[in-house]
Structure 1
Amino acid sequence: MYHHNVGGRILAQLDLTSTIQLNNGVAMPRFGLGVWQTDNTTAEASVQAAIRNGYRMIDTAKQYGNEAGVGRGLAAAFADGAVRRQDIFVTSKVANGDQGYRRTLDKFEGTLRRLQLDYLDLYLIHWPVDGQYVETWRALEKLYRDGRVRAIGVSNFDVQRLQVLLRAADVQPAVNQIEFNPLMQEQAMRKFAPAHNITVEGWSPLGGGKALNNPVIALIGQKHGKSVAQVILRYDLQCGIVTIPKTVHEQRMVENARIFDFELDDQDVAAIAGLDQNQHALWYDAFGWYGSDTDFGMATQKWPDSTPDYDA
């Protein structure tokens, strides 16, 4: 069910089953689990733990090197009857080195095989590789028209590149997944995306841990009897941001999801909004992020338990 956001506040009671309607009518959960920097074995266990505790959205990417582990976790959850395939919203992303029309289509098959799925709920261009992302988008449009994916979108696109894509696109992107946390609140994109009916999804909602030490948020947490992390994740929801906190600890998954029994007031929201430093939490600005798969930080992560045919 879509919950209207008025004045920065969610008016309806939310829970882990709450969804937002994308621009093509697909219902996307507002809250899910991210699995970046997680090896296959850990990802498998994390996915099962998340589903066991009510999570209904899992976000991965080929670059993360753990699609196979996520696939095993999903398969186990489906096999034991905990959930059905249609109950879980699964996202993956085109790796930089896989961009281009034909290569994107070819490499998509490997993603489905590793995830042990017949389709994806959402497929994103992971980064806007200059000179390639428009052709990559045409491949995503084909996958969408062929029913291989239920929705398509982008990740880490700035306003300029999203404008270029919108001019070239036949199918409008449904989602832009970007860094969003108290220190990096992406004001320009948060104005641009809704104006074009594009849902904003936030990665690194806890700011790589930096925001967890903020005294302003700590005071708000004390006021509501909540942790700093819970306040931040609640803020995301009240800003209309789909959020995917990453953790491999089951107890923390449970705690992260305990954000539906309180609401930040206008003063709380304004205080957190005032923390924006337009400052990326991680390595985002440290390399030419519109480059190729060989650029710093962009090579597919290899874990000891990677599948031998990972790049197939």
Structure 2
Amino acid sequence: MQSTPLFQSRIGLGTWQMGEDPSQAKAECAAIVHALEVGYRLIDTAEMYADGVAESLVGKALGSFASNRREEVTLVSKVLPHHANKVGTIKACEASLRRMQCDYLDHYLLHWQGSHSFESTIEGFLTLQERGLIRHFGVSNFNQGALQSWRKAEANVGSPSRCQSNQVYYALNERGIEFDLLPAMEKQAIALMAYSPLGTGNLARHPGLSLLAAEQGLTAAQLALAWILRHPHAVAIPKSTHLDRVEENWQASQIQLSAATLSQLDALFPAPTRTSRLAII
């Protein structure tokens, strides 16, 4: 299992807020199917999203991929903190797999820090790896201090595997992680998964960003996503249920930004100059 890439594509489809309105289920499932048809090979979800309904939508949409082309897709889900002791982590993962109608997850993350020890969560992750139910494990919404504590916990339990990714809020209008967290992640070879990379949709409507993007024949959303991907070990997971926007976002993975464009973006959205509290949505 370890020979496959960490992520099968650098643009993924997020599913946060999917599954909350039954009347939208058909359109949401269609968006996931369309994403796979376009070329997406990364789907992100969580047991928290609509109390598991989002995972069920993913499972339904995967269809033939789950049975015939499963190895082509990177599936990511997350365990809630209050489930994240050893036994609870295992049970939560098993439930997620049932909803997604899959045999394993490529990445399984602790959604955020809770009351259970990191050691107990890691022990659960290791058991899941041993059983072949997950390939990699990681975390979400972790700042630099939490990552350091996680590494100590891995050493405490003698873990043969290490945290592979940290999923955090990162976008042009929320660059705080660049000051200290992102350099620490790069030093430790922890991949960045950027959630809400369009700033919960605000960047797609930003006047300055829209103007700069139009000058290059792009949309503001494409420019914002391409900016995320300037980091070689980053993936972005925008969420959309509009088929045209799903395609538009996917095209951003092919865009290379010039040094001049990056400077213009820095002028519009300045880089951080000091440590800041980790932004969480």
TM-score by length of 2: 0.84
Match in the other structure for 2:237: 244
Q: Conserved in 2, the CA contact under 8 Å of 1:44 and 1:73?
A: yes
Match in the other structure for 2:263: 270
* Structure 2 residue matching 1:92: 3-state secondary structure: strand
Match in the other structure for 1:4: none
Q: Conserved in 2, the CA contact under 8 Å of 1:61 and 1:92?
A: yes
Match in the other structure for 1:27: 6
Q: Conserved in 2, the CA contact under 8 Å of 1:48 and 1:77?
A: no
Q: C-alpha distance in 2, partners of 1:158/1:51? A: 32
Alpha-carbon deviation of 1:190? Answer: 1.1
Match in the other structure for 2:184: 192
Q: Percent identity?
A: 29
- Larger mean CA deviation between 116-125 and 219-228 belongs to 219-228
Match in the other structure for 1:62: 47
Q: C-alpha distance in 2, partners of 1:270/1:238? A: 13
Alpha-carbon deviation of 1:54? Answer: 1.3
Q: Conserved in 1, the CA contact under 8 Å of 2:82 and 2:116?
A: no
Find 1:127's aligned residue among 100, 105, 112: 112
Match in the other structure for 1:45: 30
Change in CA separation of 1:281 and 1:133 when aligned onto 2, cut-off 3 Å: closer
Match in the other structure for 2:148: 163
Q: Conserved in 2, the CA contact under 8 Å of 1:33 and 1:55?
A: yes
Match in the other structure for 1:138: 123
Q: C-alpha distance in 1, partners of 2:66/2:115? A: 39
Q: Conserved in 1, the CA contact under 8 Å of 2:90 and 2:124?
A: yes
- Larger mean CA deviation between 33-42 and 274-283 belongs to 274-283
Whether 1:177 and 2:167 are equivalent positions in the alignment is: yes
Q: C-alpha distance in 1, partners of 2:264/2:41? A: 31
- Larger mean CA deviation between 261-270 and 158-167 belongs to 261-270
* Structure 2 residue matching 1:55: 3-state secondary structure: coil
Q: Which has the higher helix share?
A: 2
* Structure 2 residue matching 1:30: 3-state secondary structure: coil
| Residues 11-31 of structure 1 deviation map (CA, whole Å, 9 limit, x = unaligned) | xxxxxxxxxxxx986431211
Unaligned residue ranges in structure 1 (runs of 5+): 1-22, 285-312
* Structure of greater relative contact order (alpha carbons < 8 Å, 6+ residues apart): 1
Alpha-carbon deviation of 1:215? Answer: 3.6
Match in the other structure for 1:203: 195
Q: C-alpha distance in 2, partners of 1:226/1:89? A: 27
Change in CA separation of 1:144 and 1:24 when aligned onto 2, cut-off 3 Å: farther
Unaligned residue ranges in structure 2 (runs of 5+): none
Q: Note the aligned Cα RMSD (angstroms).
A: 2.4
How many residues are matched? 259
Change in CA separation of 1:273 and 1:281 when aligned onto 2, cut-off 3 Å: farther
Q: C-alpha distance in 2, partners of 1:276/1:263? A: 20
Match in the other structure for 1:149: 134
- Larger mean CA deviation between 26-35 and 266-275 belongs to 266-275
| Residues 162-194 of structure 1 deviation map (CA, whole Å, 9 limit, x = unaligned) | 100001112210000100101112112211101
Q: C-alpha distance in 1, partners of 2:277/2:170? A: 9
Q: Conserved in 2, the CA contact under 8 Å of 1:35 and 1:246?
A: yes
Whether 1:224 and 2:209 are equivalent positions in the alignment is: no
